[in-house]
Structure 1
């Protein structure tokens, strides 16, 4: 059964919403302090059209990060559903997260708005899935056991910070450095013990507390 096509007005509203979200991601990951009017200008929509959909900048930031969390969950669930080689599933998970670029939102937007209850619930779900794929890969003897879930989170953020040239070049470089990193994550004979304690979950989560 196919869904009925949207009316012209609904289709235009859906297109505007997609334009707004794409523009908001670009604007706020470049400058979290940018005004919401900059989003409307980049999206090519009137400010009134934007406010009808998102009554405040905070609501728009909540939507952006909520969508990012849902995408992270989708990528991780897909990797966990794979029944083949545990390392290949884990490496595919890392590549999927890099392609989704959800970590750019964390780098730029953590602490700039007040998370909703739905965001907290999705964050708990995302954390649980990340823990599960990590556990599975360690138990398979493929991922070094001294690497924690929080280590992986910060590693993905470091890769997301790479921005050089256009989108295609940035993607190439991110996957290049991900490949270098995954070689260090995999269990190999004689790997050296990591220096210093790993990051704590509380350290990572504290960044989402709004300033002030």
Structure 2
């Protein structure tokens, strides 16, 4: 069976639903489906046709953010030296961690853990890419691997929202400082 490309209006509706859900997750872990539909300007049928369950919507918000985070590594390396690219990528991690906190708070613990684990590999590959570039330039310590960085980044999702807004960038600066090669 040939898959058809979605109509432009259907693709727009889906994108709006995801954006609204993402924004709502920054203020609540409730994420009522009727509030998402209303804020996105779509009917309940459109919402449920795209996302049959609340969990499906949450999973797609998380997947889209994880994919965006992973995809940002290579372009940053094309535009900047490795240390600057890594710093900017870590800034993207702040947004990702905020969404991750919201999604995981809204899901059952086992579902949230499974969802987070399903993206660890691709995020690790992005970190590997950044580390390799940094090591080849002599900017990143040779004894650091992606697993080290992922463990450190995991603490961001444990901050509550008020604390994260205040401390996340400082924590990321500390992480990057620890990754940089000493000269």
Shorter-chain TM-score above 0.5:
yes
Q: 1:86 aligns with which of 69, 82, 85?
A: 82
Q: CA RMSD in A?
A: 3.9
Q: How does 1:15-94 map to 2 (within 5 A)?
A: 15-79=12-76, 81-82=77-78, 85-94=81-90
User: How far apart are the structure 2 equivalents of 1:64 and 1:90?
Assistant: 24
- From the superposition, tell whether residues 121 and 109 of structure 1 become closer, same or farther in structure 2 (CA, over 3 Å): closer
Unaligned runs of 5+ in 2: none
1:67 is paired with a residue whose SS is: helix
8 A Cα contact 1:159 1:178, kept in partner:
no
Stretches of structure 1 that go unaligned for 5 or more consecutive residues are 1-5, 164-172, 190-212
Provide the TM-score with structure 1 as the length reference: 0.60
Q: Is the 8 A contact 2:156 2:168 kept in 1?
A: no
Distance in 2 of aligned mates of 1:183 and 1:122: 22
Equivalences for residues 157-168 of structure 1 within 5 A: 161-162=164-165
Q: Distance in 2 between matches of 1:46 and 1:11?
A: 17
Q: Tell me which structure has the larger Cα radius of gyration.
A: 1
| TM-score (normalised: structure 2) | 0.68
Q: Cα deviation per residue 1:168-200 (whole Å; 9 max; x = unaligned)?
A: xxxxx976x4785477444557xxxxxxxxxxx
Helix, strand or coil: the match of 1:26?
Answer: helix
**How many residue pairs are counted as aligned between the two chains?**
169
Q: Structure 1 stretch 177-186 or stretch 32-41: which is displaced more?
A: 177-186
Q: Distance in 2 between matches of 1:134 and 1:154?
A: 19
